[in-house]
Structure 1
Amino acid sequence: MSALLVDPRTDADSSVLAPAPTSSPAGISPVPADRVRAGRCVRLVSLLSAAALVPMIIAHIVGATVVDPLTDPISWYAFVPGGAAMIIAGGGLLALLGVLITIRMYRGRLVSGPLPAVAMAVFSTAMITVGAFPTDPPHAAPTAGAMVHRVAAGVAFAVLPLVGLMISASLTEPRTTLPRRLRRSACLLAGLVGAFLAIHLPLAFAGSGIAAFGFLERAGFVIMIGYLFLLGATIDQESSPQLASPLRRC
Protein backbone atom coordinates (compact mmCIF):
# COMPACT_ATOMS: atom_id res chain seq x y z
CA MET A 1 0.00 0.00 0.00
CA SER A 2 2.83 2.38 0.87
CA ALA A 3 4.35 1.72 -2.52
CA LEU A 4 1.22 3.20 -4.13
CA LEU A 5 1.71 6.45 -2.20
CA VAL A 6 5.16 7.11 -3.76
CA ASP A 7 5.05 9.57 -6.63
CA PRO A 8 7.21 8.09 -9.40
CA ARG A 9 7.91 11.58 -10.77
CA THR A 10 9.51 12.62 -7.48
CA ASP A 11 11.72 9.53 -7.57
CA ALA A 12 12.79 10.23 -11.15
CA ASP A 13 13.47 13.92 -10.57
CA SER A 14 15.57 13.41 -7.44
CA SER A 15 18.62 12.58 -9.50
CA VAL A 16 18.21 15.82 -11.42
CA LEU A 17 17.90 17.93 -8.29
CA ALA A 18 20.90 16.33 -6.62
CA PRO A 19 24.14 18.36 -6.89
CA ALA A 20 26.56 17.16 -9.55
CA PRO A 21 29.79 15.71 -8.25
CA THR A 22 32.84 17.92 -8.69
CA SER A 23 35.18 15.05 -9.51
CA SER A 24 34.99 11.49 -10.68
CA PRO A 25 34.23 9.02 -7.90
CA ALA A 26 36.84 6.38 -7.30
CA GLY A 27 36.37 3.37 -9.51
CA ILE A 28 34.93 5.27 -12.49
CA SER A 29 36.74 4.30 -15.68
CA PRO A 30 38.59 7.11 -17.50
CA VAL A 31 36.83 8.64 -20.49
CA PRO A 32 38.25 7.26 -23.76
CA ALA A 33 40.49 9.72 -25.60
CA ASP A 34 38.31 9.65 -28.72
CA ARG A 35 35.32 11.00 -26.75
CA VAL A 36 36.91 14.19 -25.43
CA ARG A 37 36.48 17.61 -27.03
CA ALA A 38 39.22 19.93 -28.21
CA GLY A 39 39.96 22.73 -25.76
CA ARG A 40 41.93 25.95 -25.71
CA CYS A 41 45.38 24.36 -25.65
CA VAL A 42 44.58 22.16 -28.66
CA ARG A 43 43.38 25.24 -30.51
CA LEU A 44 46.66 26.99 -29.69
CA VAL A 45 48.61 24.02 -31.04
CA SER A 46 46.45 24.02 -34.18
CA LEU A 47 46.90 27.74 -34.79
CA LEU A 48 50.63 28.06 -34.13
CA SER A 49 51.70 24.77 -35.72
CA ALA A 50 49.73 25.65 -38.86
CA ALA A 51 51.32 29.10 -38.85
CA ALA A 52 54.77 27.51 -38.45
CA LEU A 53 54.13 25.24 -41.43
CA VAL A 54 53.37 28.15 -43.77
CA PRO A 55 56.95 29.51 -43.98
CA MET A 56 58.33 25.99 -44.29
CA ILE A 57 55.98 25.21 -47.18
CA ILE A 58 57.09 28.45 -48.87
CA ALA A 59 60.75 27.46 -48.37
CA HIS A 60 60.07 24.03 -49.89
CA ILE A 61 58.46 25.64 -52.92
CA VAL A 62 61.22 28.23 -53.41
CA GLY A 63 63.97 25.65 -52.98
CA ALA A 64 62.31 22.82 -54.88
CA THR A 65 64.95 22.82 -57.62
CA VAL A 66 68.00 22.84 -55.32
CA VAL A 67 67.00 20.93 -52.16
CA ASP A 68 65.93 17.29 -52.32
CA PRO A 69 63.36 16.70 -49.54
CA LEU A 70 64.21 12.98 -49.42
CA THR A 71 67.95 13.32 -48.81
CA ASP A 72 68.72 16.95 -47.86
CA PRO A 73 68.07 18.45 -44.39
CA ILE A 74 65.49 21.17 -43.84
CA SER A 75 68.25 23.53 -42.75
CA TRP A 76 69.61 23.69 -46.32
CA TYR A 77 66.64 25.89 -47.19
CA ALA A 78 68.58 28.63 -45.38
CA PHE A 79 70.62 29.01 -48.57
CA VAL A 80 67.70 29.67 -50.92
CA PRO A 81 66.26 33.22 -51.26
CA GLY A 82 64.36 34.08 -48.07
CA GLY A 83 64.90 30.59 -46.68
CA ALA A 84 66.78 31.67 -43.55
CA ALA A 85 63.93 33.98 -42.55
CA MET A 86 61.43 31.16 -43.14
CA ILE A 87 63.36 28.83 -40.82
CA ILE A 88 63.61 31.52 -38.13
CA ALA A 89 59.87 32.25 -38.41
CA GLY A 90 58.89 28.59 -38.14
CA GLY A 91 61.19 27.94 -35.20
CA GLY A 92 60.06 31.11 -33.44
CA LEU A 93 56.39 30.14 -33.69
CA LEU A 94 57.08 26.69 -32.24
CA ALA A 95 59.11 28.34 -29.46
CA LEU A 96 56.12 30.59 -28.68
CA LEU A 97 53.90 27.51 -28.62
CA GLY A 98 56.23 25.94 -26.07
CA VAL A 99 55.89 28.99 -23.81
CA LEU A 100 52.07 28.98 -24.05
CA ILE A 101 51.88 25.24 -23.32
CA THR A 102 54.03 25.81 -20.24
CA ILE A 103 51.69 28.53 -18.97
CA ARG A 104 48.64 26.35 -19.57
CA MET A 105 49.99 23.27 -17.80
CA TYR A 106 50.97 25.26 -14.70
CA ARG A 107 47.72 27.23 -14.67
CA GLY A 108 45.84 23.94 -14.86
CA ARG A 109 47.85 22.61 -11.87
CA LEU A 110 49.00 19.59 -13.87
CA VAL A 111 52.62 20.07 -12.82
CA SER A 112 54.51 21.77 -10.04
CA GLY A 113 58.12 22.55 -9.33
CA PRO A 114 60.66 23.93 -11.80
CA LEU A 115 61.55 20.84 -13.85
CA PRO A 116 58.65 20.91 -16.38
CA ALA A 117 59.20 24.63 -16.97
CA VAL A 118 62.94 24.10 -17.45
CA ALA A 119 62.30 21.31 -19.96
CA MET A 120 59.88 23.44 -22.00
CA ALA A 121 62.23 26.44 -21.78
CA VAL A 122 64.98 24.25 -23.22
CA PHE A 123 62.63 23.23 -26.05
CA SER A 124 61.71 26.83 -26.88
CA THR A 125 65.33 28.00 -26.67
CA ALA A 126 66.42 25.13 -28.92
CA MET A 127 63.82 26.04 -31.55
CA ILE A 128 65.09 29.64 -31.64
CA THR A 129 68.72 28.49 -31.70
CA VAL A 130 68.05 26.27 -34.73
CA GLY A 131 67.13 29.36 -36.73
CA ALA A 132 69.74 31.67 -35.22
CA PHE A 133 72.63 29.30 -36.01
CA PRO A 134 72.19 27.97 -39.55
CA THR A 135 73.94 24.82 -40.66
CA ASP A 136 76.85 24.76 -43.10
CA PRO A 137 76.26 25.06 -46.85
CA PRO A 138 76.30 21.79 -48.79
CA HIS A 139 79.76 20.19 -49.01
CA ALA A 140 81.33 22.89 -46.81
CA ALA A 141 83.74 22.20 -43.96
CA PRO A 142 81.96 21.84 -40.58
CA THR A 143 81.82 24.92 -38.36
CA ALA A 144 81.00 25.59 -34.71
CA GLY A 145 77.74 27.30 -35.67
CA ALA A 146 76.58 24.22 -37.56
CA MET A 147 77.38 22.05 -34.55
CA VAL A 148 75.27 24.34 -32.33
CA HIS A 149 72.45 24.06 -34.88
CA ARG A 150 72.54 20.25 -34.89
CA VAL A 151 72.76 19.93 -31.11
CA ALA A 152 69.82 22.33 -30.67
CA ALA A 153 67.69 20.32 -33.10
CA GLY A 154 68.44 17.09 -31.24
CA VAL A 155 67.78 18.66 -27.84
CA ALA A 156 64.38 20.00 -28.98
CA PHE A 157 63.25 16.45 -29.74
CA ALA A 158 64.88 14.93 -26.65
CA VAL A 159 63.20 17.12 -23.99
CA LEU A 160 59.60 16.77 -25.18
CA PRO A 161 59.20 13.17 -23.93
CA LEU A 162 60.33 14.32 -20.47
CA VAL A 163 57.47 16.85 -20.30
CA GLY A 164 54.89 14.21 -21.23
CA LEU A 165 56.24 11.78 -18.66
CA MET A 166 56.18 14.43 -15.92
CA ILE A 167 52.57 15.37 -16.69
CA SER A 168 51.35 11.77 -16.83
CA ALA A 169 53.22 10.90 -13.62
CA SER A 170 51.62 13.82 -11.75
CA LEU A 171 48.06 12.58 -12.35
CA THR A 172 47.16 9.87 -9.85
CA GLU A 173 43.48 9.65 -10.87
CA PRO A 174 43.19 10.76 -14.52
CA ARG A 175 39.70 11.39 -15.81
CA THR A 176 40.51 10.38 -19.39
CA THR A 177 42.79 7.88 -21.08
CA LEU A 178 44.89 10.73 -22.50
CA PRO A 179 47.60 10.64 -19.78
CA ARG A 180 48.14 6.94 -20.43
CA ARG A 181 48.35 7.61 -24.17
CA LEU A 182 50.70 10.52 -23.50
CA ARG A 183 52.98 8.32 -21.39
CA ARG A 184 53.14 5.66 -24.09
CA SER A 185 53.76 8.25 -26.81
CA ALA A 186 56.50 9.89 -24.74
CA CYS A 187 58.26 6.55 -24.32
CA LEU A 188 57.89 5.83 -28.03
CA LEU A 189 59.20 9.27 -29.01
CA ALA A 190 62.16 8.89 -26.67
CA GLY A 191 62.93 5.51 -28.21
CA LEU A 192 62.72 6.89 -31.75
CA VAL A 193 64.97 9.84 -30.92
CA GLY A 194 67.48 7.56 -29.22
CA ALA A 195 67.53 5.10 -32.13
CA PHE A 196 67.89 7.88 -34.70
CA LEU A 197 70.78 9.53 -32.85
CA ALA A 198 72.47 6.19 -32.25
CA ILE A 199 72.51 5.57 -36.01
CA HIS A 200 73.03 9.11 -37.27
CA LEU A 201 75.76 10.43 -34.97
CA PRO A 202 78.40 7.76 -35.76
CA LEU A 203 77.74 8.24 -39.48
CA ALA A 204 77.93 12.03 -39.17
CA PHE A 205 81.28 11.87 -37.35
CA ALA A 206 82.53 9.52 -40.07
CA GLY A 207 81.64 12.10 -42.73
CA SER A 208 78.63 10.18 -43.99
CA GLY A 209 74.96 10.14 -43.14
CA ILE A 210 71.62 8.34 -43.42
CA ALA A 211 70.56 8.01 -47.07
CA ALA A 212 66.98 9.19 -46.43
CA PHE A 213 67.95 11.80 -43.81
CA GLY A 214 65.75 14.50 -45.34
CA PHE A 215 62.65 12.32 -45.28
CA LEU A 216 63.32 11.16 -41.70
CA GLU A 217 63.85 14.74 -40.50
CA ARG A 218 60.59 15.92 -42.04
CA ALA A 219 58.74 12.89 -40.65
CA GLY A 220 60.24 13.72 -37.26
CA PHE A 221 58.75 17.20 -37.30
CA VAL A 222 55.33 15.79 -38.24
CA ILE A 223 55.63 13.43 -35.25
CA MET A 224 56.63 16.39 -33.06
CA ILE A 225 53.51 18.34 -34.05
CA GLY A 226 51.32 15.29 -33.41
CA TYR A 227 52.91 14.87 -29.99
CA LEU A 228 52.26 18.55 -29.17
CA PHE A 229 48.59 18.00 -30.08
CA LEU A 230 48.43 15.10 -27.62
CA LEU A 231 50.17 17.20 -24.98
CA GLY A 232 47.66 20.01 -25.50
CA ALA A 233 44.67 17.66 -25.39
CA THR A 234 45.88 16.17 -22.11
CA ILE A 235 46.31 19.62 -20.59
CA ASP A 236 42.81 20.66 -21.71
CA GLN A 237 41.00 17.60 -20.39
CA GLU A 238 42.87 17.05 -17.14
CA SER A 239 43.16 20.65 -15.97
CA SER A 240 39.45 21.52 -16.04
CA PRO A 241 38.44 22.81 -12.55
CA GLN A 242 35.41 20.49 -12.47
CA LEU A 243 37.47 17.52 -13.59
CA ALA A 244 40.70 18.11 -11.68
CA SER A 245 42.67 15.08 -10.52
CA PRO A 246 44.85 14.74 -7.41
CA LEU A 247 48.35 16.04 -8.11
CA ARG A 248 51.71 14.63 -7.11
CA ARG A 249 54.63 17.02 -6.95
CA CYS A 250 57.02 16.53 -9.87
Structure 2
Amino acid sequence: MVSGFTAIGTGTGAMLTLHAEAGLDPLHSVISEYAFQAAGWLLPTSLTLFALGSALIAEALRRAGADRWVVALLLTWGVSMLLIGAFPTDAPGLPLSLSGGIHRYAAFVAFLVMPLAGFLLARARIRYARCVRMLSVLALGALLLVVIPYVVRMFGIPLSNDDIPAGLIQRTVVVTELGVLALAGLALLRPLTRRSRGGISPVLA
Protein backbone atom coordinates (compact mmCIF):
# COMPACT_ATOMS: atom_id res chain seq x y z
CA MET A 1 0.00 0.00 0.00
CA VAL A 2 2.84 2.38 0.87
CA SER A 3 4.38 1.76 -2.53
CA GLY A 4 1.09 2.71 -4.20
CA PHE A 5 0.96 6.03 -2.37
CA THR A 6 4.64 6.59 -3.13
CA ALA A 7 4.01 6.12 -6.85
CA ILE A 8 1.03 8.50 -6.82
CA GLY A 9 2.92 11.08 -4.78
CA THR A 10 5.99 10.93 -7.01
CA GLY A 11 3.79 11.17 -10.10
CA THR A 12 2.06 14.22 -8.66
CA GLY A 13 5.44 15.80 -7.94
CA ALA A 14 6.56 15.19 -11.52
CA MET A 15 3.33 16.72 -12.84
CA LEU A 16 3.68 19.82 -10.65
CA THR A 17 7.32 20.21 -11.69
CA LEU A 18 6.30 20.05 -15.34
CA HIS A 19 3.67 22.73 -14.79
CA ALA A 20 6.13 24.98 -12.97
CA GLU A 21 8.81 24.71 -15.66
CA ALA A 22 6.54 24.91 -18.72
CA GLY A 23 5.06 28.29 -17.89
CA LEU A 24 1.83 27.64 -19.83
CA ASP A 25 -1.54 29.05 -18.83
CA PRO A 26 -3.19 26.29 -16.74
CA LEU A 27 -6.58 27.94 -17.19
CA HIS A 28 -6.70 27.34 -20.95
CA SER A 29 -3.81 24.97 -21.78
CA VAL A 30 -4.75 21.29 -21.45
CA ILE A 31 -2.27 18.95 -19.83
CA SER A 32 -1.45 17.15 -23.10
CA GLU A 33 0.11 20.34 -24.48
CA TYR A 34 2.85 20.15 -21.87
CA ALA A 35 4.38 17.24 -23.77
CA PHE A 36 5.76 19.73 -26.33
CA GLN A 37 7.74 21.65 -23.71
CA ALA A 38 11.40 21.14 -22.82
CA ALA A 39 10.46 19.14 -19.72
CA GLY A 40 7.74 17.28 -21.61
CA TRP A 41 9.26 13.91 -20.68
CA LEU A 42 7.84 14.45 -17.20
CA LEU A 43 4.31 13.97 -18.56
CA PRO A 44 4.62 10.27 -19.55
CA THR A 45 6.74 9.72 -16.44
CA SER A 46 3.99 11.12 -14.25
CA LEU A 47 1.26 9.13 -16.01
CA THR A 48 3.27 5.92 -15.72
CA LEU A 49 3.65 6.47 -11.97
CA PHE A 50 -0.10 7.08 -11.68
CA ALA A 51 -0.70 3.81 -13.52
CA LEU A 52 1.65 1.97 -11.19
CA GLY A 53 -0.04 3.45 -8.13
CA SER A 54 -3.45 2.48 -9.45
CA ALA A 55 -2.33 -1.11 -10.07
CA LEU A 56 -0.88 -1.42 -6.58
CA ILE A 57 -4.01 -0.05 -4.91
CA ALA A 58 -6.19 -2.26 -7.11
CA GLU A 59 -4.22 -5.30 -5.95
CA ALA A 60 -4.58 -4.23 -2.32
CA LEU A 61 -8.33 -3.85 -2.80
CA ARG A 62 -8.51 -7.28 -4.43
CA ARG A 63 -6.77 -8.85 -1.45
CA ALA A 64 -9.17 -7.02 0.87
CA GLY A 65 -12.11 -8.58 -0.95
CA ALA A 66 -13.30 -5.58 -2.95
CA ASP A 67 -15.81 -5.96 -5.75
CA ARG A 68 -14.03 -7.37 -8.80
CA TRP A 69 -15.55 -4.59 -10.90
CA VAL A 70 -13.81 -2.00 -8.75
CA VAL A 71 -10.50 -3.77 -9.25
CA ALA A 72 -11.10 -4.04 -13.00
CA LEU A 73 -12.02 -0.36 -13.29
CA LEU A 74 -8.91 0.77 -11.42
CA LEU A 75 -6.74 -1.43 -13.63
CA THR A 76 -8.48 -0.01 -16.71
CA TRP A 77 -7.72 3.48 -15.45
CA GLY A 78 -4.07 2.53 -15.06
CA VAL A 79 -3.83 1.04 -18.55
CA SER A 80 -5.46 4.18 -19.93
CA MET A 81 -2.83 6.30 -18.17
CA LEU A 82 -0.10 4.25 -19.86
CA LEU A 83 -1.73 4.71 -23.27
CA ILE A 84 -2.12 8.46 -22.74
CA GLY A 85 1.58 8.73 -21.98
CA ALA A 86 2.73 6.37 -24.74
CA PHE A 87 0.66 8.00 -27.48
CA PRO A 88 1.05 11.79 -27.32
CA THR A 89 -1.58 14.12 -28.66
CA ASP A 90 -1.06 16.12 -31.84
CA ALA A 91 0.55 19.53 -31.79
CA PRO A 92 -1.94 22.40 -31.85
CA GLY A 93 -3.23 23.05 -35.37
CA LEU A 94 -2.50 19.59 -36.75
CA PRO A 95 -5.26 17.15 -37.80
CA LEU A 96 -6.04 14.18 -35.59
CA SER A 97 -3.53 11.36 -36.09
CA LEU A 98 -3.65 7.74 -34.93
CA SER A 99 -1.52 8.62 -31.90
CA GLY A 100 -3.72 11.60 -31.14
CA GLY A 101 -6.85 9.48 -31.47
CA ILE A 102 -5.56 6.81 -29.09
CA HIS A 103 -4.52 9.54 -26.68
CA ARG A 104 -7.94 11.20 -26.78
CA TYR A 105 -10.05 8.07 -26.35
CA ALA A 106 -7.77 6.59 -23.69
CA ALA A 107 -8.21 9.83 -21.75
CA PHE A 108 -11.98 9.60 -22.10
CA VAL A 109 -11.98 6.02 -20.83
CA ALA A 110 -9.78 6.98 -17.88
CA PHE A 111 -11.95 9.97 -17.03
CA LEU A 112 -15.06 7.77 -17.12
CA VAL A 113 -14.01 4.63 -15.25
CA MET A 114 -12.59 6.19 -12.08
CA PRO A 115 -15.90 7.85 -11.05
CA LEU A 116 -17.66 4.54 -11.71
CA ALA A 117 -15.18 2.80 -9.42
CA GLY A 118 -15.79 5.53 -6.87
CA PHE A 119 -19.55 5.00 -6.91
CA LEU A 120 -19.08 1.26 -6.41
CA LEU A 121 -16.73 1.88 -3.49
CA ALA A 122 -19.14 4.36 -1.95
CA ARG A 123 -21.99 1.88 -2.31
CA ALA A 124 -19.87 -0.67 -0.45
CA ARG A 125 -19.71 1.85 2.42
CA ILE A 126 -15.95 1.96 2.65
CA ARG A 127 -14.38 4.49 4.95
CA TYR A 128 -14.62 8.01 3.47
CA ALA A 129 -17.52 6.80 1.31
CA ARG A 130 -19.20 10.21 1.38
CA CYS A 131 -16.06 11.98 0.15
CA VAL A 132 -15.51 9.32 -2.51
CA ARG A 133 -19.06 9.79 -3.78
CA MET A 134 -18.73 13.58 -3.81
CA LEU A 135 -15.43 13.47 -5.74
CA SER A 136 -16.95 10.99 -8.20
CA VAL A 137 -19.89 13.30 -8.85
CA LEU A 138 -17.54 16.26 -9.38
CA ALA A 139 -15.37 14.19 -11.73
CA LEU A 140 -18.35 13.17 -13.86
CA GLY A 141 -19.66 16.73 -13.96
CA ALA A 142 -16.27 18.04 -15.06
CA LEU A 143 -16.03 15.24 -17.65
CA LEU A 144 -19.32 16.40 -19.13
CA LEU A 145 -17.86 19.89 -19.46
CA VAL A 146 -14.79 18.39 -21.16
CA VAL A 147 -16.93 16.57 -23.73
CA ILE A 148 -19.27 19.46 -24.59
CA PRO A 149 -16.70 21.46 -26.64
CA TYR A 150 -15.99 18.40 -28.81
CA VAL A 151 -19.71 17.99 -29.48
CA VAL A 152 -20.00 21.67 -30.32
CA ARG A 153 -17.13 21.43 -32.80
CA MET A 154 -18.80 18.41 -34.44
CA PHE A 155 -21.59 20.76 -35.49
CA GLY A 156 -19.11 23.07 -37.16
CA ILE A 157 -19.11 25.71 -34.45
CA PRO A 158 -15.56 27.03 -33.92
CA LEU A 159 -14.59 26.83 -30.27
CA SER A 160 -11.01 26.94 -29.08
CA ASN A 161 -9.55 26.31 -25.66
CA ASP A 162 -8.91 30.04 -25.41
CA ASP A 163 -12.67 30.59 -25.41
CA ILE A 164 -13.31 28.33 -22.42
CA PRO A 165 -11.37 27.33 -19.26
CA ALA A 166 -10.48 23.98 -20.85
CA GLY A 167 -7.34 23.56 -18.77
CA LEU A 168 -9.11 24.22 -15.49
CA ILE A 169 -11.92 21.80 -16.34
CA GLN A 170 -9.52 19.03 -17.31
CA ARG A 171 -7.45 19.53 -14.18
CA THR A 172 -10.61 19.29 -12.10
CA VAL A 173 -11.23 15.84 -13.56
CA VAL A 174 -7.65 14.71 -12.92
CA VAL A 175 -7.47 16.04 -9.34
CA THR A 176 -10.84 14.59 -8.31
CA GLU A 177 -10.01 11.20 -9.80
CA LEU A 178 -6.65 11.08 -8.07
CA GLY A 179 -8.58 11.94 -4.92
CA VAL A 180 -10.88 8.95 -5.45
CA LEU A 181 -7.86 6.69 -5.97
CA ALA A 182 -6.10 8.00 -2.88
CA LEU A 183 -9.19 7.61 -0.68
CA ALA A 184 -9.67 4.07 -1.97
CA GLY A 185 -6.19 3.30 -0.69
CA LEU A 186 -6.65 5.16 2.59
CA ALA A 187 -9.87 3.25 3.24
CA LEU A 188 -7.83 0.05 3.44
CA LEU A 189 -5.72 1.39 6.27
CA ARG A 190 -8.69 1.57 8.65
CA PRO A 191 -11.57 -0.35 7.04
CA LEU A 192 -15.02 -0.09 8.55
CA THR A 193 -16.70 -3.32 9.59
CA ARG A 194 -20.27 -4.42 9.43
CA ARG A 195 -22.15 -7.25 11.06
CA SER A 196 -23.10 -10.18 8.84
CA ARG A 197 -24.67 -13.56 9.48
CA GLY A 198 -21.27 -14.95 10.28
CA GLY A 199 -20.33 -12.12 12.64
CA ILE A 200 -18.12 -9.11 11.83
CA SER A 201 -16.79 -8.87 8.29
CA PRO A 202 -14.91 -6.15 6.42
CA VAL A 203 -17.00 -3.75 4.39
CA LEU A 204 -14.96 -4.60 1.31
CA ALA A 205 -15.76 -8.29 1.60
Q: Which of 48, 59, 71 in structure 2 is aligned with 1:117?
A: 71
Structure 1 segments (4+ residues) deviating >6 Å: none
The answer for the alignment partner of 1:57 in structure 2 is: 16
Q: Which of 56, 61, 69 in structure 2 is aligned with 1:100?
A: 56
CA pair 222-168 structure 1, distance change in 2 beyond 3 A: closer
Return the alpha-carbon distance in structure 2 between the equivalents of residues 77 and 192 of structure 1.
20
Return the alpha-carbon distance in structure 2 between the equivalents of residues 116 and 165 of structure 1.
9
Structure 1: gaps of 5 or more residues: 1-40
Return the alpha-carbon distance in structure 2 between the equivalents of residues 245 and 50 of structure 1.
27
Deviations 1:169-209 (A, max 9, x none): 345xx6x5x2344344434433432x224423213434524
The range that moved more, 47-56 or 156-165, is 47-56
| Cα displacement (A) at 1:97 | 0.9
Return the alpha-carbon distance in structure 1 between the equivalents of residues 192 and 48 of structure 2.
26
User: Taking every aligned residue pair, what percent have the same amino acid on both sides?
Assistant: 25
> TM-score normalised to the size of structure 1?
0.68
Q: Which of 142, 155, 172 in structure 2 is aligned with 1:192?
A: 142
The answer for the alignment partner of 1:182 in structure 2 is: 132
CA pair 238-131 structure 1, distance change in 2 beyond 3 A: same
Name the SS of the counterpart of 2:85 in structure 1: helix
Q: For residue 21 of structure 2, what is the amino acid of its counterpart?
A: V
| Cα displacement (A) at 1:212 | 1.0
Structure of greater Rg: 1
Return the alpha-carbon distance in structure 1 between the equivalents of residues 55 and 192 of structure 2.
17
CA pair 61-187 structure 1, distance change in 2 beyond 3 A: closer
| Cα displacement (A) at 1:153 | 1.2
Q: Count the aligned residue pairs.
A: 196
Name the SS of the counterpart of 2:190 in structure 1: helix
- Judge conservation of contact 1:110–1:235 (CA < 8 Å) in 2: no
Return the alpha-carbon distance in structure 1 between the equivalents of residues 176 and 148 of structure 2.
19
The answer for the alignment partner of 2:170 in structure 1 is: 217
Structure 2: gaps of 5 or more residues: 194-199
Return the alpha-carbon distance in structure 2 between the equivalents of residues 215 and 234 of structure 1.
28
> TM-score normalised to the size of structure 2?
0.81
